[in-house]
Amino acid sequence: MPHFCSNCEEFNATLACSACKYTYYCSPECQLENWKIHKKGCKIQQEINKFEAKQKAEPPKRPAKGKCTGCGVKFSEDYSISEECPDCGYQACECCVSHHSRGTCYCPNTNFGRHYCQMDPAWYHADGRTGASYTSDRHPEPFLTRYPDEVYETEPRACTNCGEVTRVFKKEFCAVGAFR
């Protein structure tokens, strides 16, 4: 995908800086010409890249107990937890459970312990921490919505998300907008 060249500003840059992988150039000549300007920013970007890689490698911290992870309200006898994820520890109040993003726990393939693969496709099925959409196998429970036979693969196999052996959707029907 082309970018703007950091030196000549032409929209045909495809060569990324090998050190920071953030700045693009259209030619080695432009990169060399821009080096004095890019040098300090390159070192900073490399540090940012190291920090982000370290954060991705660390397991996420569990949310603090006793307050809603979505809005921060403290739970009490009068205002109790509506949902709590057994895997990531996300706690949500009644208001946040019905919210499209605050009502999504931090787990990438489940929401409060319920596997996305077993639910009807919905645009808000996403990793609550990164926002990345769920894109893996799907085999919704048949009592929720009846899907035509041609939507499913012909042979049962293990779901890549939950491991259940069943007939899963063909890849073209796994996307959220496939049934519109």
pLDDT tens for residues 78-93?
888 999 999 889 999 9
DSSP 21: S
CA distances from 81 to 62, 102, 109, 163 (A): 16, 14, 22, 30
- Name the range with the highest mean pLDDT among 111-125, 132-146, 159-173: 159-173
Q: Are 31 and 39 in contact (CB under 8 A)?
A: no
Going from N- to C-terminal start, the domains of the chain cover 15-57
Q: Please state, in angstroms and rounded to a whole number, the distance separating the CA atoms of residues 152 and 138.
A: 9
Phi, psi angle pair for 178, to nearest 5°: -65, -20
28 closest CA partner among 45, 5, 49, 46: 5
pLDDT score of 149: 87
- Tell me whether residue 153 is exposed, middle or buried, using C-beta atoms within 10 angstroms of its C-beta: 0 to 12, 13 to 18, 19 or more: middle
Q: What percent of the chain has pLDDT over 70?
A: 94
- As a whole number, mean pLDDT of residues 169-175 equals 85
The pLDDT tens digits for 17-69 are: 999 999 999 999 999 999 999 999 999 999 999 999 988 887 777 888 899 98
Instruction: Name the residue type at position 78.
Output: D
The more confidently predicted of residues 132 and 39 is 39
The pLDDT tens digits for 134-152 are: 888 998 876 656 788 888 9
Q: Please state, in angstroms and rounded to a whole number, the distance separating the CA atoms of residues 41 and 20.
A: 9
